[in-house]
């Protein structure tokens, strides 16, 4: 029985000693802790470097430690200090970001300006011009459609205008204006130049319409006068001028028999 108790005591003693041997004692070196704090977040204070000089500078540990590095306490080596490398990298990143944003803003401005110039310069977008949509498209509609120019006229007027070449002249003038208008709408030019060309074409178109209407009216009047002249020539003189009648009576008789 004593033997068993002795063996148990021996085993317990061995286990206790083994647990003590495996226990690691945490040692705190204040010098290392200070250095770690300085390099990470605390202020670089040369007066807090340990070991210090001591009384009258007689501390041998100070000289053994800092004699080999005399400038180290006076030089701030923190990465996040005012002149540290990490701070400089962060400042450089911010500066590069601002530069990139400035370049992006500049390129966006150039892009928008180029798009606006292309929109106002390209002939493919002329149909979407507000002034063309609101005003010139309606005013020049007949020029683009090319309707019958003798619509509403009598058969005699149509034959006369065709025979004398007036219809051919009007058709050629209208075709020339239509070609100028199509060229202006398809060519690449500034919007101001396009608007001025539209205005000039519109003026010429209106002048051409006025001239054409005047030609049709003169043709109609000429045909009526020709008809009256033929009727007058067909009348016998004895019926027109009986004896004893004045010239005014003769003229009134002629007008009463005419068909105006």
Write down how long the chain is.
260
In this structure, the answer to whether residues 145 and 249 fall within a common structural domain is yes
Coarse DSSP helix, strand, coil percentages of the chain, rounded to the nearest 5 percent: 75, 0, 25
In this structure, the answer to whether residues 64 and 161 fall within a common structural domain is no
Q: Average per-residue pLDDT in the chain?
A: 76
The residue among 255 and 172 whose pLDDT is bigger is: 172
In this structure, the answer to whether residues 69 and 172 fall within a common structural domain is no
Kindly calculate the radius of gyration of the chain based on its CA atoms and give it in whole angstroms. Answer: 56
Q: 253 in a domain, yes or no?
A: yes
pLDDT tens across 25-56, in order? 566 777 778 777 777 767 777 677 777 777 77
Q: 211 in a domain, yes or no?
A: yes
In this structure, the answer to whether residues 246 and 151 fall within a common structural domain is yes
pLDDT tens across 158-213, in order? 888 888 888 888 888 888 888 888 887 777 777 777 888 888 988 998 998 899 88
Q: 13 in a domain, yes or no?
A: no
In this structure, the answer to whether residues 53 and 140 fall within a common structural domain is no
In this structure, the answer to whether residues 148 and 192 fall within a common structural domain is yes
Give residue 260's pLDDT band: very low, low, confident or very high (50, 70, 90): very low
Predicted TM-score (pTM) of this structure: 0.48
Give residue 92's pLDDT band: very low, low, confident or very high (50, 70, 90): very high
Give residue 3's pLDDT band: very low, low, confident or very high (50, 70, 90): low
List C-alpha distances in Å: 52 to 38, 39, 40, 55, 62: 16, 19, 21, 9, 6
In this structure, the answer to whether residues 150 and 252 fall within a common structural domain is yes
Strand, helix or coil at 209? helix
Q: 224 in a domain, yes or no?
A: yes
In this structure, the answer to whether residues 178 and 222 fall within a common structural domain is yes
Q: Which of 121, 152, 184 is the last residue of a domain?
A: 121
In this structure, the answer to whether residues 150 and 207 fall within a common structural domain is yes
In this structure, the answer to whether residues 152 and 226 fall within a common structural domain is yes
Residue ranges making up the domain that contains 106: 82-121
Q: What is the pLDDT of residue 22?
A: 52
pLDDT tens across 104-129, in order? 998 888 888 777 766 666 555 666 67
Q: 20 in a domain, yes or no?
A: no
In this structure, the answer to whether residues 132 and 114 fall within a common structural domain is no
List C-alpha distances in Å: 185 to 146, 195, 241: 17, 10, 67
Q: What is the pLDDT of residue 143?
A: 81
Q: How many domains, in total, are found in the chain? A: 3
């Amino acid at each position: 029985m004593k033997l068993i108790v002795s063996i148990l005591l021996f085993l317990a003693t061995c286990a206790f000693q083994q647990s003590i041997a495996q226990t690691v004692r945490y040692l705190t070196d204040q010098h290392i802790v200070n250095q770690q704090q300085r390099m990470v977040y605390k202020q670089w204070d040369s007066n807090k470097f340990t070991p210090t000089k001591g009384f009258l500078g007689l501390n041998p540990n100070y000289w053994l430690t800092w004699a080999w590095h005399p400038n180290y306490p006076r030089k701030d080596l923190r990465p996040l200090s005012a002149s540290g490398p990490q701070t400089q990298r962060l400042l450089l990143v911010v500066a590069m970001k601002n530069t990139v944003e400035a370049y992006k803003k500049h390129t966006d401005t150039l892009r928008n300006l180029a798009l606006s110039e292309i929109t106002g310069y390209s002939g493919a977008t002329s149909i979407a011009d507000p002034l063309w949509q609101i005003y010139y498209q309606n005013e020049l509609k007949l020029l683009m459609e090319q309707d019958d120019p003798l619509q509403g006229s009598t058969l005699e007027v149509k034959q006369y205008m065709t025979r004398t070449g007036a219809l051919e002249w009007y058709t050629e003038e209208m075709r020339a204006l239509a070609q100028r208008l199509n060229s202006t709408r398809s060519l690449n030019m500034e919007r101001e130049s396009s608007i001025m060309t539209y205005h000039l074409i519109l003026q010429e178109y209106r002048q051409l319409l006025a001239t054409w209407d005047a030609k049709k009216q003169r043709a109609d009047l000429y045909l009526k006068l020709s008809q009256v002249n033929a009727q007058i020539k067909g009348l016998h003189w004895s019926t027109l001028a009986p004896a004893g009648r004045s010239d005014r009576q003769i003229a009134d008789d002629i007008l009463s028999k005419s068909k105006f």
